[in-house]
Structure 1
Amino acid sequence: MTGTPTTTTPEFVISGAEALLRVSPVALSAQRAELTVAAGQWYGDPVAGNLRGALGVPLDDVTGHVVASGVPQDKWPVSLGIRVDFLADPPVEGSPMTVIGELIARDDRSGTTRGAVVDGAGRTLALVTQRSHLVPVDGQPHSSATQFDTPRPETSIRAALGFRDVTPGVVDLPPTTLAANGMGNLHGGVLIIGSELAAMSAVDAGGVLRTTSIDIVYVRPGNAGDLTTFRSDLLHRGRSVAVVRVVAANASGKPCSISTVIVQS
């Protein structure tokens, strides 16, 4: 007789992306999870002004962990899509930010969660809705034995990950363990970062414009050990708003994610 797989509260996985963003768990359950993320000058960026998309890393973590906490041991949630609305810049100094995720729905094939990032003064910086589906795994991911060297505070996220501008609207991400999740794939939040950088390049943001939303769909896993290229298509450019479509492709040219980025003055 085949028994029903048991569920356990999984380990919160610290991989390269979590080390880069200084993400730490606070409280974890199958209904609600809370993390902290350090404030720091690494959010500054010469093109994006302030890399709001970096909040996608802890938001992906916190919402995904809620779903993972209620699934059988032989399953793991993989993000299908994430929608993030940005209300303000992450702080470059001060108290850590609080990141909260809550369960909306879960069944034997998928999960839906929502969450928010709040700064030390209680101001909401970002809101997220995340959709995931469950995939079979031989064992749930664990924190890597690799020791990640956290970059110095003056090192921007762009520089730490090694993002390179190729042409206007095209950005490369070289292989780096700091871009990986617990399964060795590109972290969904890093794909959000790359999409923001490519969109900002396409509109020549110059540190003045800001990303107000990113809606991203994940179509296949990306390999953190390969080159990933983000290519933009400027769909609309008005006086106060721009709409940019960004496709992240692996070294074979196949898409890993497709996103719509809204940029405003």
Structure 2
Amino acid sequence: MPTTSAFYIGGPEVMLRIRGMEITAERGTGRMQTGPWLADPDAGIARGALGVALDDVTGYLVDSGSPHGQWPVSLGIRMDFIADPALDGSPLDLSGELVVRYDGGAMSRGVATDASGATIATMIQRSHLVSAPGTPGDHATPELLSAPESPVREQLGLRTSTPDRLTMAPTPLSANGMGSVHGGILVCSSELAAMTAIEAGGRFRTASVDIVYVRPCIASETTTFTSEIVHRGRSLSVVRVVSSNSPGRASSIATVVLQRI
């Protein structure tokens, strides 16, 4: 019989102030607080950080309708961004709904709206079910409960080793309940890596991120984000970003489209 697991409040959820999740097998709702942690020197606004919240609201509803002992793992996420989230502490409303459930997987979609009700980001997620030895916990560890207000890039410890490479040291702020880097953190970090590669300096915004997950990215290991500029124009750039824990073994492959503002 299908079972419902508790919503896991881990490092990414604490960092981005994601709360109030209400999840069924068909729908999910929740809230994310805005603030200065969404600012970024290269991206201007880290729109990709909304990937954590929308991954949660679209992923947990799949889990809620999944058989006991199985856990949904994302195959891929497509995000489109319409506008910047605010930085003033106002909430973003999150909603997710099931598109279809099939043998071994599901497709779901999500929307983030601002305080005025305007849509600022959308997500389509496709996931498949894997055997899981247990379900994640339902609370973050105490040392994570007081999140700083510094930018996400700083909190995650993202460092530029070369213009086309960012590294992220092991941190509980990146981990999901299974010990892998949260899929939304890979969206966010891939966006920031792309912005660094083109030296955006706040002059570009992310229009879309299309990311495929090919193997788990282990949060207890260093993660490297390697960028390749596929196209660079005056108004539009396209960057391919590959995350990995070890050279030659990709964890995720993202195509990031950046548009000049």
TM-score, length of structure 2 as denominator length: 0.96
Query: Which residue of 2 is the match for residue 20 of structure 1?
Result: 15
Query: Which residue of 2 is the match for residue 239 of structure 1?
Result: 234
Query: Which residue of 2 is the match for residue 152 of structure 1?
Result: 148
Query: Which residue of 1 is the match for residue 189 of structure 2?
Result: 194
SS at match of 1:59: helix
Indicate whether 1:111 and 2:112 are aligned.
Answer: no
1:20-59 pair list within 5 angstroms = 20-59=15-54
Q: 2:174 aligned to 179, 182, 195, which one?
A: 179
1:26 Cα shift?
3.7
Q: CA RMSD in A?
A: 1.2
In structure 2, C-alpha distance between the alignment counterparts of 1:131 and 1:113, rounded to whole Å:
7
SS at match of 2:85: coil
1:81-230 pair list within 5 angstroms = 81-144=76-139, 146-147=141-142, 148-153=144-149, 155-230=150-225
Give the stretch that moved more between structures: 144-153 or 182-191: 144-153
TM-score, length of structure 1 as denominator length: 0.95
1:52 Cα shift?
0.3
- Structure 1 residue runs of 4+, over 6 Å off? none
Higher strand fraction (1 or 2): 2
Contact 2:9 2:140 in 1 (8 A): no
SS at match of 1:239: coil
1:91 Cα shift?
0.8
Contact 1:169 1:200 in 2 (8 A): no
SS at match of 1:97: strand
Distance change (3 Å), C-alpha of 1:100 and 1:47: same
1:94 Cα shift?
4.2
In structure 1, C-alpha distance between the alignment counterparts of 2:79 and 2:193, rounded to whole Å:
17
In structure 2, C-alpha distance between the alignment counterparts of 1:90 and 1:150, rounded to whole Å:
22
Q: Cα deviation per residue 1:184-237 (whole Å; 9 max; x = unaligned)?
A: 110001101110111001111001111110000000001111100000010011
In structure 2, C-alpha distance between the alignment counterparts of 1:119 and 1:190, rounded to whole Å:
21
Contact 1:42 1:156 in 2 (8 A): yes
In structure 2, C-alpha distance between the alignment counterparts of 1:45 and 1:87, rounded to whole Å:
18
Partner letter of residue 112 of structure 1? Answer: M
Q: 1:75 aligned to 48, 70, 76, which one?
A: 70
Gaps of 5+ in 2: none
Query: Which residue of 2 is the match for residue 3 of structure 1?
Result: none
1:145 Cα shift?
5.7
In structure 2, C-alpha distance between the alignment counterparts of 1:8 and 1:186, rounded to whole Å:
24
SS at match of 1:250: strand
Q: Cα deviation per residue 1:98-154 (whole Å; 9 max; x = unaligned)?
A: 11110000123001001110011111110100000000112222235622143322x
In structure 1, C-alpha distance between the alignment counterparts of 2:247 and 2:162, rounded to whole Å:
19
1:182 Cα shift?
0.8
Gaps of 5+ in 1: 1-5
